[in-house]
């Protein structure tokens, strides 16, 4: 029995890549140092996988920022404006994150399928050419370690789909052929072509491209990898595709194995058995019986055992956790490979105690009953928007085009240190709170001084918008080092929801109320929405995601009411996770949106008509979920769209948005400081489709990751831009 792995986390178990990249961007280490860090991580990963007995070990799953951008660069897709940057890696980073030195802004970024990983959307335009140095270097490096790796390449259909250049397949296929030739010369035996587009599109037919590969290249065996969904209706033609192996995500779509394996074909199959999207230990007995059935159908020679998808979506190593009660129920990337090895050993005749892999069971309680008892009344504001909006206008008395921010302000090293010191017990809670209060007071004063209209407390007390709430709620567990890459050097540490979610006490009231006490302007309370908390956590699998989400909603509802009672009358409930939770298959979208929007309404609808509910979302492509966003019944929405404003505004040309809205006027993900004129331009564009009494002016996301030197001029100019329209 053989095993394969689709991809391994590339950030390093101590986030080495993050530290090195950020140090390099800050001019603190040299390019050579950064490159060396990359090499070290790759070497470590390969050796680890070798040790775990993985038969087909991936390469090119490493990336200095993003694997889609790597692929774009491999096909020479470097827009003209970036050519001014001389050093290739700097040019690559300029595309990924903008570069102030050259006045370059970043390319668009968006969610990788239904994960919390973000990729850079390549910009087609120029002539394509093959520039495969990164990939070939990795092949050579691995060879030097005595490992004959299996390169991972985004397949042509998926790449063209993600780059919105499906009309250019004919141009790109010869480059793939050329690449396969080069790899064959390097004695590469297997190439993994990732085609997750198969999970979302059922109207495709790949034959042409893959026929060409087979005709031109008999030496290399192609493993076609589809994940996050089953092959669906594609199952009827996929078996005729001239590839060596089909990879099946049996976690998301367990039944497809029967469907595909029972048909007559010459294919080998990679059984994606171990969950690459969640942190729970596998239930070995179930896996064993799944494999046994597959063996009956096609024989063991035609099978690979594998994780369901690349392991970049789970943390690196559970062994690093020293303080985690539920540790015995969990498995991270390294442990998942151990599971794979165990499974392999079992089928190769070793005696394995499968019961030793049993998962700890979770318990349920009365929260579940509250979820069942929810009625329509619990998800409806007492008055409709048309009635409550004039009341709010009178109550808040804000100027036209009110200015605000999305919540967080730069988290300086001092603040991070402070929080770390509190955790280590080096400072007392009261010292910590005093210092944070001082920061908040200063921030409120600063916002007043520059003339913002609706202020925020700055979120200095939060490491992360989900972790903060998870730590205060029942039912969540936390890791110390369970980092997962979100984009570039940004990592998140998702909490683990293992039990029923309950609110124990106030979570944000103290900070919001304190901030409000510092000013006569309105301070906006700041909560993370139920769908986002769910989406950015690892979720228990013993009850539906819907039920877990509604439990979170009930807890947040109590917090919203507590804020209102404390005099916080503008409350923002962030839901950047709503769009990314969207099922990949069309037929599942409706049910998801029904419970997801319901959870938001349960959380927010209990307030007085004058209390204004805001929501915020990132990177959304709104057209497809606009009805769902409208159904949230939020009084104001702020949106991230500075990297692609026109797309959003066109949507509203067709169908006016019925609530107040603040389409972000500048891109906070780039260190570049925007000019006042650019922001005025954004406002002018927005005013063409949004009535003046409905428009807000704000950056397009939280400012946590920016520096003060960037935020100060940007926000001052944003206020000036807004004022020029009043
Ligand atoms: N309120 C959050 C912040 O400003 C929102 C972040 C987000 O949308 N991702 O940090
Ligand atoms: Zn955002």
Do 30 and 333 form a contact (C-beta atoms < 8 A)? Answer: no
Closest atom of ligand 1 to 405 CA is: 4
Q: How far is the CA of 401 from the centre of ligand 2 (A)?
A: 20
CA atoms of 447 and 572, how far apart (whole Å)? 18
Among protein residues, the one whose CA lies closest to atom 3 of ligand 1: 702
Q: Token pair for residue 25?
A: 């961007």
Using the structure block, give the residue that is written with the tokens 């979610």.
501
State yes or no: pLDDT of 361 exceeds 60. Answer: no
Q: How far apart are the CA of 513 and the centre of ligand 1, in A?
A: 19
CB within 8 A of 266, min separation 6: which ones? none
pLDDT level of residue 202 (50, 70, 90 thresholds): confident
- Cα 487 to middle of ligand 2, angstroms: 13
At residue 186, the pLDDT reads: 96
Q: Summarize the confidence of residues 375-384 as an average pLDDT.
A: 96
Task: Determine if residue 116 is labeled as part of a ligand binding site.
Answer: yes
Residue 91: C-alpha distances to residues 38, 80, 84, 88, 644 (Å): 17, 11, 8, 5, 21
- pLDDT value of residue 239: 95
Ligand 1 neighbours by CB, cut-off 6 Å: 406-408, 459, 465, 526, 574, 576, 616, 618, 701-702, 704
Going from the Cα of 726 to the center of ligand 1, the distance in angstroms, rounded, reads 27
pLDDT at residue 360 greater than cutoff 70: no
Strands 490-492 and 484-487: antiparallel
Residue ID of nearest Cα to ligand 1 atom 5: 702
Whole-number Å distance, alpha carbon 486 to ligand 1 midpoint, is 14
Say yes or no to pLDDT of 362 above 60: no
Report yes or no: 174 and 204 within 8 Å, Cβ to Cβ: no
**CA-to-CA distance for 288 and 149, rounded, in angstroms?**
27
Q: Which pLDDT does position 655 carry in this prediction?
A: 83
> Ligand 1: which residue has its CA nearest to atom 4?
702
Strand spans (E) along 619-667 = 636-639, 660-663
pLDDT of residue 512: 98
Helix (H) or strand (E) holding 72: helix 67-74
Residue 82 pLDDT > 80, yes or no? Answer: yes
> Looking at the predicted structure, is the pLDDT value of residue 94 above 90?
yes
User: Which residue's CA is the nearest one to ligand 1's atom 1?
Assistant: 407
User: Chain centroid to CA 556: how far?
Assistant: 22
Q: How far is the CA of 166 from the centre of ligand 1 (A)?
A: 34
Helix pair 429-450, 708-723: axis angle to 10 deg: 40
pLDDT at 315 over 60: yes
- pLDDT level of residue 357 (50, 70, 90 thresholds): low
**pLDDT of amino acid 353:** 78
SS3 547: helix
Residue 13 C-beta-side C-alpha neighbours within 13 Å: 14
Q: Is it the case that residue 654 has pLDDT exceeding 90?
A: no
* 600-612 confidence digits (pLDDT tens): 999 999 999 999 9
What pLDDT was estimated at residue 218?
81
DSSP 574: E
Please enumerate in sequence order all residues whose Cβ is within 8 A of that of 306, keeping only pairs 6 or more positions apart, or say none.
3, 4, 5, 6, 247, 270, 271, 272, 273, 274, 340
pLDDT higher than threshold 70 for residue 358:
no
Average pLDDT value for the chain: 94
Q: Is 574 annotated as a binding residue?
A: yes
Residue 105 contacts residue 672 (beta carbons within 8 Å): yes
Q: pLDDT band at 643, cuts 50/70/90?
A: low
Between 45 and 362, the higher pLDDT residue: 45
Fill in the DSSP letter of residue 359: P
* pLDDT over 80 (residue 619): no
Q: Confidence band (pLDDT; 50, 70, 90) for 404?
A: very high
Q: Which pair of tokens denotes residue 163?
A: 């780059």
Known binder of ligand: residue 59? no
Nearest CA to ligand 1 atom 6: 702
Q: Mind listing the domains of the chain with CATH numbers?
A: 2-78+113-347 (3.20.20.210), 386-465+509-535+544-725 (3.20.20.210)
> Whole-angstrom distance between the N-terminal and C-terminal Cα of the chain?
71
How confident is the model at residue 204, as a pLDDT?
83
For the chain, helix (H) and strand (E) counts, in that order, are: 27, 21
Judge if ipTM > 0.95.
Answer: yes
Residue spans of beta strands (DSSP E) within 529-581: 538-539, 570-574
Q: What is the mean pLDDT of residues 335-356?
A: 90
Average pLDDT of span 363-372:
80
Average pLDDT on 463-486 reads: 95
Q: Which of 702, 703, 704, 705 to mutate to test the pocket of ligand 1 (most atoms within 8 A of CB)?
A: 702
Flag whether pLDDT at 151 surpasses 80: yes
Q: With pLDDT > 90 as the criterion, what percentage of the chain qualifies?
A: 87
Q: Say which residues have a Cβ less than 8 Å from residue 59's Cβ, sequence separation at least 6.
A: 42, 46, 135, 138, 139, 141, 142, 149, 150, 151, 152
Taking Cα atoms as reference points, which of 115, 116, 118, 64 lies closest to residue 94?
Answer: 64
Asked if the model's pLDDT at residue 364 lies above 60, the reply is: no
DSSP state of 476: E
pLDDT tens-digit profile of 21-43?
999 999 999 999 999 999 999 99
Going from the Cα of 108 to the center of ligand 2, the distance in angstroms, rounded, reads 14
> Is pLDDT of 641 > 80?
no
Distance 702 CA to ligand 1 centre (A): 4
- Tell me how many degrees the CA angle 386-563-428 measures, rounded to the nearest 5: 155
Task: Give me the mean pLDDT over the 180-207 stretch.
Answer: 94
539 three-class SS: strand
How is residue 658 annotated by DSSP?
Answer: S
- Give the pairing of strands 538-539 and 473-477: unpaired
Segment (H or E) for 594: helix 589-604
Average pLDDT over residues 165-184: 96
Write out pLDDT tens, residues 242-255.
Answer: 999 999 999 999 99
Active site residues: 669
């Amino acid at each position: 029995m053989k095993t394969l792995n689709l991809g391994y986390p590339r950030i390093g178990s101590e986030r080495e890549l993050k530290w090195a990249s950020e140090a390099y961007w800050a001019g603190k280490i040299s390019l050579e140092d950064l490159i060396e860090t990359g090499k070290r991580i790759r070497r470590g990963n390969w050796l680890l996988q070798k040790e775990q007995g993985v038969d087909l070990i991936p390469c090119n799953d490493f990336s200095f920022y993003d694997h889609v951008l790597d692929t774009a660069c491999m096909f020479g897709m470097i827009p003209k404006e970036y050519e001014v940057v001389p050093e290739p890696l700097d040019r690559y980073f300029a595309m990924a994150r903008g570069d102030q030195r050259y006045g370059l802004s970043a390319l668009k970024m968006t969610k990788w399928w239904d994960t919390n990983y973000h990729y850079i959307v390549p910009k087609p335009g120029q002539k394509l050419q093959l520039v495969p140095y990164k990939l070939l270097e990795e092949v050579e490096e691995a060879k030097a370690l005595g490992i004959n790796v299996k390169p991972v390449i985004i397949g042509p259909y998926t790449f063209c789909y993600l780059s919105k250049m499906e009309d250019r397949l004919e141009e790109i296929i010869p480059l793939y052929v050329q690449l396969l030739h080069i790899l064959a010369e390097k004695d590469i035996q297997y190439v993994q072509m990732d085609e997750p587009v198969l999970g979302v599109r059922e109207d495709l037919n790949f034959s042409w491209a893959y026929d060409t590969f087979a005709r031109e290249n008999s030496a290399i065996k192609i493993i076609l990898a589809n994940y996050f969904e089953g092959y669906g209706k594609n199952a009827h033609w996929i078996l005729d595709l001239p590839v060596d192996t089909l990879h099946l995500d049996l976690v998301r779509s367990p039944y497809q194995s029967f469907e595909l394996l029972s048909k007559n074909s010459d294919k080998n199959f990679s059984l994606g058995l171990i969950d690459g999207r969640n942190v729970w230990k596998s239930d070995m007995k179930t896996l064993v019986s799944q494999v046994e059935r597959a063996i009956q159908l096609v024989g063991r020679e035609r099978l690979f055992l594998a994780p369901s998808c690349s392991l970049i979506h789970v943390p690196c190593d559970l062994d690093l956790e020293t303080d985690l009660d539920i540790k015995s129920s969990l498995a991270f990337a390294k442990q998942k490979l151990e599971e794979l090895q165990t499974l392999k050993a079992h089928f190769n005749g070793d005696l394995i105690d499968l019961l030793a892999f049993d998962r700890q069971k979770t318990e349920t309680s009365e929260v579940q009953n509250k979820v069942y008892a929810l009625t329509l009344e619990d998800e409806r504001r007492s008055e409709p928007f048309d009635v409550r909006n004039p009341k709010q206008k009178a109550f808040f008395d804000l100027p036209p085009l009110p200015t605000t921010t999305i919540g967080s302000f730069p988290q300086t090293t001092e603040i991070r240190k402070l929080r770390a010191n509190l955790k280590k017990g080096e400072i007392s809670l009261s010292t910590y709170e005093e210092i944070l209060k001082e920061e908040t007071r200063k921030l409120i004063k600063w916002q007043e001084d520059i003339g913002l209209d609706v202020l925020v407390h700055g979120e200095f007390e939060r490491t992360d918008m989900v972790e903060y709430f998870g730590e205060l709620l029942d039912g969540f567990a936390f890791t110390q080092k369970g980092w997962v890459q979100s984009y570039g050097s940004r990592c998140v540490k998702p909490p683990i929801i293992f039990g029923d979610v309950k609110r124990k006490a106030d979570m944000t009231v103290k900070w919001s109320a304190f901030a409000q006490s510092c000013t006569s302007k309105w301070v906006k309370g700041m909560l993370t929405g139920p769908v986002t908390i769910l989406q950015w956590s690892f979720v228990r699998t013993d009850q539906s995601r819907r039920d877990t989400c509604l439990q979170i909603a009930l807890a947040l509802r109590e917090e919203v009411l507590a804020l209102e009672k404390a005099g916080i009358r503008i409350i923002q409930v962030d839901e950047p996770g709503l769009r990314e939770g969207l099922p990949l298959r069309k037929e599942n979208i409706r049910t998801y949106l029904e419970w997801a929007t319901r959870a938001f309404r349960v959380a927010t609808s209990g307030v007085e008509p004058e209390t204004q509910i805001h929501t915020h979302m990132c990177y959304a492509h709104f057209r497809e979920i606009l009805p769902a966003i409208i159904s949230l019944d939020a009084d104001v929405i702020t949106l991230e769209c500075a990297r692609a404003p026109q797309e959003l505004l066109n949507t509203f040309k067709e169908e006016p948005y019925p609530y107040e809205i603040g389409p972000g006027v500048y891109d906070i993900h780039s260190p570049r400081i925007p000019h006042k004129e650019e922001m005025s331009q954004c406002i002018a564009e927005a005013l063409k489709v949004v009535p003046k009494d409905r428009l807000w002016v704000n950056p397009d996301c939280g400012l946590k990751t920016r520096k003060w030197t960037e935020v100060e001029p940007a926000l001052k100019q944003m206020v000036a831009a807004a004022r020029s329209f009043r």
